[in-house]
């Protein structure tokens, strides 16, 4: 009986570990995506500068 209980506990623990590993992997993937979104490139910097200049030329008035 004790051996069966120990085996059930081990199987349950393994399932929890696998679930945590899946969550960890998902979190790493989300972090990689977020890092990519936050990084800048020269093209992106130039586009942001162009949009800011256009906004300043229009008096920062929202269109609509």
Share of residues in the chain with pLDDT > 90 (%) = 45
The reported pLDDT for the residue numbered 61 is: 56
pLDDT at 64 over 60: no
Which residue has 């979104």 as its token pair? 37
- What Cα–Cα distance (Å) separates residue 29 from each residue in 6, 15, 25, 40? 35, 21, 6, 19
Distance, CA of 53 to chain centre: 31
Is the model's pLDDT at 42 over the cut of 80?
A: yes
Average pLDDT score, the chain: 85
Please give the average per-residue pLDDT across 25-38, as a whole number: 85
């Amino acid at each position: 009986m004790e051996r069966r209980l120990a085996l059930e506990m081990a199987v349950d623990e393994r399932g929890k570990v696998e679930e945590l590993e899946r969550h960890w992997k998902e979190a790493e993937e989300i972090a990689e995506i977020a890092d990519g979104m936050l990084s800048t490139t020269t093209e992106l910097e130039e586009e942001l500068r162009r949009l800011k200049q256009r906004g300043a030329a229009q008096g920062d008035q929202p269109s609509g």
